[in-house]
Amino acid sequence: MRAFDFSPLFRSTVGFDRLFDLVDSYAEQSAGYPPYNIERSDETHYRITVAVAGFAEKDLNVEVREGVLSVTGKRDEGDKSEDKGFLYQGIAGRAFERRFQLAEHVEVRDAKLENGLLHIDLERVIPEEKKPRQIPINGPALKTIEGRAHAA
């Protein structure tokens, strides 16, 4: 169920439908599983860390499509916990999909699994034509008059 009705805005805006879809998809996402962090190490480098305890590399998939980073996890049917006789199971192993909308020019550089945490490194790569550049100011050239001073 959608919490916001954007229909009045559609009458007076053009080209913002992707933004409205983004807000809708954010509202539909499950808020709690799996937990994640988003870190910024400097102006151009970011890291998303997703807690994926109980998942192996073969159970995880990281994909970028049309500016959306998707992290999915699904364990093999052979890993079912029903046969293991748990008295208490606090580590969730259910399938998940977590999506992150990437800003323009943000690229995924690396993904690695360490100690139950999936680290995804991102970098904002701004093309040369979009970077600010210094424009030299050309003033009028001053002309010097050469000559010798005459002694009287």
User: Across residues 8-36, what is the average pLDDT?
Assistant: 67
Looking at residue 89, what is its pLDDT? 80
Task: List every span in the chain annotated with CATH 2.60.40.790.
Answer: 32-127
Mean pLDDT of the 21-41 span: 75
Counting Cα atoms < 13 Å in the Cβ hemisphere of 134 gives 3
Burial (Cβ within 10 Å: 0-12, 13-18, ≥19) of residue 121: middle
Of 21-25, 36-40, 67-71, minimum mean pLDDT range: 21-25
**Cα separations (Å) of 54 from 79, 93, 116?**
10, 6, 7
For residue 101, pLDDT over 60 is answered with: yes
Name which of 119, 10, 103 is nearest 62 in CA terms: 119
What Cα–Cα distance (Å) separates residue 53 from each residue in 11, 36, 77, 119, 151? 46, 12, 17, 13, 94
Residue range 32-127, CATH number: 2.60.40.790
pTM: 0.66
Whether the predicted pLDDT of 105 surpasses 60: yes
Q: Is the pLDDT of residue 96 over 60?
A: yes
Share of the chain above pLDDT 70, in %: 69
